[in-house]
């Protein structure tokens, strides 16, 4: 590939991507129901991992609250019932999470990063407890039945969210906001001196990333048919996307996508065979990738390739 000019290579990659996307979009037409559900699950994790990286990647402020925003979306669907179309529910679910993240961000992001980590850590537990108390004392019912939606509908909604998310993410990277975000990730003080309103930028991007998590939750909700606080606010959904993004590599936009895909496949393979071992294995992988794969898989592959190229040059 080294001999191919850059432009041609870019064209090849684009054609290949479009082809893969068309093949993927047509999956409900030729794939089995199992495959459609499985790929939807990959989509869900991709959305969580990519939107997590959107904020935590450039800023270095590690959010542990993905499950809270996802759960807020799930609950939106559960509460609004079958009266609204799924598009509306997805947008409302996203907005609920956006608002929640905005409040959390405004509260914590003006302080040192450590407060943000600490605050987001328990947010899922807070939501879970609050909703349980609300349902027991105010509405008097716990758990709700959600009208089911066809597999293909969930699939296409999630795929659309991913496309919008990737578009927004790449626009953000090129926009002044994205530049400001990267600048403050390197040094908040320096960015502030250059005229960046550090807190405002961080809060907005954090809320934006939560919007997509909430929308994904709202769309995924019909998958469970029955929803209670424990199903909606599952702490593992805070942890697993972080692991996926870090394993894949947060330096490149496609790193979290690769990480999410690999881990969902692993989860699918292991979940029935070794239901408890697999989470343990995830933990071991997490520790090892922090120790030995600091830039994630993407960075590792790049380094290996660079080394191979160097050797080739040395040979010739």
Partner 1 sequence: MIMTLLDIVTAGLLLGGIYALIAVGLSIQYGVARVLNIAHGEFIMLGAFITWTLFTILGINPLLSLAVSGPTLFILGLLLYRTLLASLRERSASPEAFEGNSMLACFGLIFILQNAAILIWSADIKGYSFWSFPIKLGGVAFPANRLVTLGFASLFCLVFYFFLARTRMGKAIRAAAMDAEIAGLMGVDINRVLALCFGFGALMAGLGGSLISISYNIQPTMGLEYTMIALIVIVLGGLGSILGSFLGGLFLGLAGSIVTYIEPGLSIVAYYAIFMLLLLIKPQGLLGQ
Note the residues at the interface with partner 1 (CB under 8 A). 60, 62, 64, 107-108, 111, 114-115, 117-119, 121-122, 125-126, 129-130, 132-133, 136-137, 235, 239, 242-243, 246, 276-277, 279-280, 282-287, 290-291, 294
C-beta of 132 vs 192, nearer to partner 1: 132
C-beta of 231 vs 279, nearer to partner 1: 279
Give least dist CB 267 to partner 1, A.
13
Residue 275 has φ and ψ, to the nearest 5°, of: -55, -30
Q: How far apart are CA 261 and CA 299, in angstroms?
A: 17
Give least dist CB 234 to partner 1, A.
11
Residue labelled with tokens 């292991």: 270
C-beta of 89 vs 101, nearer to partner 1: 101
C-beta of 34 vs 269, nearer to partner 1: 269
List Cβ neighbours of 297 (8 Å cut-off, separation of 6 or more).
247, 248, 249, 255, 258, 259, 262
- Six-digit token pair at 224? 């469970």
Give least dist CB 188 to partner 1, A.
11
C-beta of 1 vs 284, nearer to partner 1: 284
Give least dist CB 237 to partner 1, A.
13
Give least dist CB 111 to partner 1, A.
5
Say how many CA atoms lie within 13 Å of 142 toward its Cβ: 14
Are the C-beta atoms of 250 and 57 separated by less than 8 Å? yes
C-beta of 284 vs 314, nearer to partner 1: 284
Are the C-beta atoms of 64 and 242 separated by less than 8 Å? yes
Are the C-beta atoms of 146 and 93 separated by less than 8 Å? no
Q: How far apart are CA 255 and CA 261, in angstroms?
A: 10
- Six-digit token pair at 76? 């939106």
Give least dist CB 106 to partner 1, A.
10
């Amino acid at each position: 590939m080294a001999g191919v000019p850059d432009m041609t290579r870019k064209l090849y990659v684009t054609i290949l991507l479009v082809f893969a996307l068309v093949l993927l979009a047509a999956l409900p037409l030729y794939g089995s129901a199992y495959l459609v559900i499985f790929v939807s699950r990959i989509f869900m994790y991709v959305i969580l991992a990519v939107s997590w990286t959107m904020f935590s990647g450039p800023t270095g402020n590690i959010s542990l609250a993905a499950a809270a925003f996802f759960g807020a979306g799930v609950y939106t669907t559960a509460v609004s019932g079958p009266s609204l179309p799924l598009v509306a529910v997805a947008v409302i679910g996203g907005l609920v999470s956006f608002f929640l993240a905005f409040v959390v961000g405004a509260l914590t992001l003006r302080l040192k990063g450590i407060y943000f980590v600490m605050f987001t850590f328990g947010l899922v537990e807070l939501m879970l407890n609050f909703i349980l108390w609300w349902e027991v004392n105010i509405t008097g019912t716990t758990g709700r039945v959600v009208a089911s939606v066809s597999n293909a509908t969930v699939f296409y909604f999630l795929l659309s969210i991913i496309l919008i998310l990737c578009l927004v993410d790449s626009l953000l990277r090129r926009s002044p906001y994205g530049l400001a975000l990267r600048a403050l990730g390197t040094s908040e003080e320096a960015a502030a001196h250059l005229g960046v309103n550090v807190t405002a930028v961080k809060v907005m991007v954090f809320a934006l990333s939560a919007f997509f998590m909430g929308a994904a939750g709202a769309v995924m909700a019909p998958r469970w048919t029955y929803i209670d606080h424990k199903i909606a606010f599952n702490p593992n959904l805070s942890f697993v996307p972080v692991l996926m993004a870090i394993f894949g590599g947060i330096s490149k936009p496609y790193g979290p996508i690769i990480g999410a895909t690999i881990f969902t496949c692993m989860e699918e393979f292991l979940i029935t065979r070794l239901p408890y071992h697999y989470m343990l294995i995830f933990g071991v992988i997490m520790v090892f990738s922090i120790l030995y794969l600091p830039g994630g898989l993407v960075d590792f592959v790049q380094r290996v390739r660079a080394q191979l190229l160097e050797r080739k040059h040395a040979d010739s």
